Structure 1
């Protein structure tokens, strides 16, 4: 099990909750949202070998090799650098470039990308231009393998923390 930081969200990571998020030079700090805010709200994929899976974005997986699989606990960074676990995803897999393009096209044709844009516009935000599919969605998992946690302190031990989400 690994820990990875996730963008703060007050809507259970089903849609963006708005507001500045993070350091000014980070993606959420610049754009006011993170693509991980749809992690639990994206629809399942219909068709292909990803049928029944949900795609999402986890910053710490951005630099992982395609097909990397692990259980991950997502955490928020709080006061005094305390880490609070908020979501657990078992068997989370980093997608390949081709899979990310397939997922993006599936979500675009189903209207989910338009829905994402509409949700952002409610907060006066918009998606940046010239993004690649892996910048929107980089992991897949079965919806049943993801669960919200009751904001509990992260445990230590063999797990390594990812600091990629600055």
Structure 2
């Protein structure tokens, strides 16, 4: 599913507020001097490889959309610049956060000092910081997340053509595009690139104590907690450990060792891609255990597709790998 969404104009490539947008007098931006989306591409602010941010179109009706099962989509962003309605970027596999995810992500922002920096940057432009996270405007400071590799930029000279959906839309809302052929091609389509930024990266971070350099998103720990509750029921006599030799979760019984690698991506294909390599290394790089005594389990949020099942079955039957997949939903998805 593909949507378009308007974001306020910004002169810093959406890394911090610049007060350069021209908005109507009754808009949030005009009243407070900034928009919530002005930190959307602050790339040094990532949690376990995920970029969190805010899009006003998701704010409007977001919970209803999530309750209907709409959790991920491709979104094309555009802005009203002085030169016209300009395409900004396309984000593939953009995930919509529910209230629990949004609150957990904001808590990480606060722990790292990023939220305080946002408030300071609002003050730097003479803005009114009381609007940030105000329920009257937007109850969530963060409402989306995406992988930076899924971000595709438009050239700065790509503007909406007369008659297009973007040229007709004035409101900050998600608008579904049924004919994607009207959307122009991005300058960085399907290439793994990162847009440069005008501010130096800030080398501050918040790490878990499980291992050196190991950083996890809020969704990751929600899934680990939910998995732990299931494992306690399934293996009442087993030893359950976390982050032992960097394995997310490991269950040890007298006859078997089960390694679980948890990934919070909404795509099961991505979960398998990321988890399998780690599981193989954790299980076999240092040791060569009996294959019958080891089970490797990739854990994700969604069901396997037909293609996913065929791929996993091939790895198990042809390569004789003791691989399995397990779905564990976030508490809000259960």
Range class of TM-score, shorter chain: 0.7 to 0.9
Greater radius of gyration (CA): 2
Give, in whole Å, the separation in 2 of the partners of 1:26 and 1:100: 23
Change (3 A) 1:74 1:29: same
Secondary structure of the 2:77 match is strand
Alignment of 1:18-33 (within 5 A): 18-19=19-20, 21-33=22-34
Q: With structure 2 as the length reference, what TM-score do the two structures score? A: 0.43
Moved more, 96-105 or 86-95: 86-95
CA contact (8 A) 1:57 1:136 kept: yes
Give, in whole Å, the separation in 2 of the partners of 1:26 and 1:159: 19
Q: Give the C-alpha shift of residue 138 in structure 1.
A: 0.7
CA contact (8 A) 1:56 1:137 kept: yes
Q: With structure 1 as the length reference, what TM-score do the two structures score? A: 0.82
Structure 2: which 5+ residue stretches go unaligned? 174-334
**1:144 paired residue among 146, 149, 165:** 149
Moved more, 2-11 or 151-160: 151-160
Change (3 A) 1:12 1:78: closer
Moved more, 58-67 or 111-120: 58-67
The size of the alignment, in residue pairs, is 160
Change (3 A) 1:162 1:150: same
Bigger RCO of structures 1 and 2 (CA < 8 A, at least 6 apart)? 1
Alignment of 1:14-53 (within 5 A): 14-19=15-20, 21-41=22-42, 43-45=45-47, 51-53=48-50
CA contact (8 A) 1:44 1:143 kept: no
